[in-house]
Amino acid sequence: MSEEVSDRKRRTGVSAKRRRIGQQLRAYRANRPKRSEKRNTYVAIPSFFTLMNLLCGFGAITQIFEGRFDSAAWLILLAAFFDALDGMMARLTNSTSPFGVELDSLSDIVSFGVAPAFLVYVFGLKEFELLGLIISALPALCGAVRLARFNVNVEQSGDKPEYFCGLPIPVQAAAIVTLILTIEKKDFFSSLSITPESLLIPVVAILAGLMVSSIPFDALPKPSAYYLKKHPFKSGALLLGVILTITFQHIGLLVCIAIYLIYGIIHGVVSTYREVMKA
């Protein structure tokens, strides 16, 4: 009889313990953060394009080693295309995340910092020895500062603004490679009294300085009906730039970048002047 009572108490204790464990599991499942499998899937979409950006940057470096400067330049431009796509996909799928921001910056410093810097050095500045080395390193050095500042601003604000503080690093890289592609056409400089190599030094230095400046440059227009209605001029300018690039290739892109730079500098100077006059 005593054994039956003892066995009953033991089973009762086990059942109570199981109930407590079950209650704890249910409470944990109810209180833990819910994960969206669909959102996790969407995060992989912009990350794929970001990695394609990095792959193109690495491919550009290998082409520079082989002396194929045209191929390296076009790979850097292709990396810029993937960089624009990853941001666009992140907005369309609403999957912007700190992981994506960091991965994008790591890819950008390779594709738009190290690769253009190495291209400039091997293409035309190697003969200037120490000066050429320092100037060639500016896209990578100033680009790293530019990206670090951008990440801090995004972390503080929680969203990407409609303009950039300083020249975006992909635009800087595109300006360098389109200039090199133009220099490759020897007849373009035949009527000028300057050498292509000497032109690279001030251009690279100015572009690097613009990256770390506080001049506001417009961001890429967002693919939405609201943005098109709110900013018709910017959207039309982007469409015109795409048409010029498709029609005239790197020459058209170089003209578009020059207009973008001039507009940004003039707008920054006028804004600063107005602030000074108000003060």
Counting the structural domains of the chain, the total is 2
Do 100 and 229 fall within a single domain? yes
| C-alpha–C-alpha distance, residues 71 and 171, integer Å | 18
Listed residue (178, 200, 173, 198) closest to 249, CA to CA: 178
Q: Kindly state whether residues 80 and 3 are assigned to the same domain.
A: no
Q: Which of 96-100, 108-112, 227-231, 275-279 has the highest mean pLDDT?
A: 108-112
Q: Within this chain, do residues 12 and 112 fall inside the same structural domain, yes or no?
A: no
Domain shared by 45 and 107, yes or no: yes
More confident residue, 245 or 207: 207
Instruction: Say which residue, 159 or 75, is predicted with more confidence.
Output: 75
213 plus 274 within the same structural domain: yes
pTM value is 0.79
Of the ranges 8-12, 84-88, 203-207, 268-272, the best mean pLDDT one: 203-207
Confidence class for position 244, pLDDT limits 50, 70, 90: confident
CA distance 190 to 99: 48
Give the pLDDT mean for 260-265: 91
How far is Cα 234 from Cα 227, in angstroms, rounded to an integer? 9
Length of the chain: 279
* β-bridge mates for residue 18, sequence order: none
Residues 151, 19, single domain; the answer is no
264: pLDDT strictly greater than 60: yes
**Comparing C-alpha atoms, which of 80, 87, 242 is closest to residue 234?**
242
What integer is the mean pLDDT of 143-158?
A: 82
Question: By the 8 A CB rule, do 217 and 170 touch?
Answer: no
Is pLDDT of 116 > 90?
yes
121 with 12, same domain: the answer is no
What pLDDT was estimated at residue 34? 54
Query: How much is the mean pLDDT over the chain?
Result: 81
| Residue-number span of the structural domain to which 24 is assigned | 1-32
* pLDDT tens-digit readout, 9-60: 555 555 665 666 666 656 655 665 555 444 456 677 888 999 999 999 999 9
Residues 16 and 121 in one domain: no
**What's the mean pLDDT in 103-113?**
94
Residues 12 and 135 in one domain: no
pLDDT at 82: 93
For the residues 3-14, what does the mean pLDDT come to? 54
pLDDT tens-place string over residues 48-96: 999 999 999 999 999 999 999 999 999 999 999 999 888 778 777 777 7
- The confidence band for 140, taking pLDDT boundaries of 50, 70 and 90, is very high
Both 9 and 66 in one domain: the answer is: no
Query: How much is the pLDDT for 5?
Result: 46
pLDDT at 36 (0 to 100)? 46
Do the beta carbons of residue 93 and residue 149 sit within 8 Å?
Answer: no
Phi, psi of 160 (to 5 degrees): -85, 130
φ/ψ region of 166 (left if φ > 0, alpha if ψ in -120 to 50, else beta) reads: left
Q: Are residues 22 and 88 in the same domain?
A: no
Average pLDDT value for residue range 181-191 = 69
Calculate the alpha carbon distances from 6 to 3, 9, 14 in Å: 5, 5, 12
Of the candidates 80, 50, 89, the one whose C-alpha atom is nearest the C-alpha of residue 177 is: 80
- For 189, phi then psi, to 5°, come to -105, 5
Q: CA–CA separation, 27 vs 30, rounded Å?
A: 5
In CATH, what number is assigned to the domain containing residue 152? Answer: 1.20.120
- In this structure, are 217 and 239 located in the same domain? yes
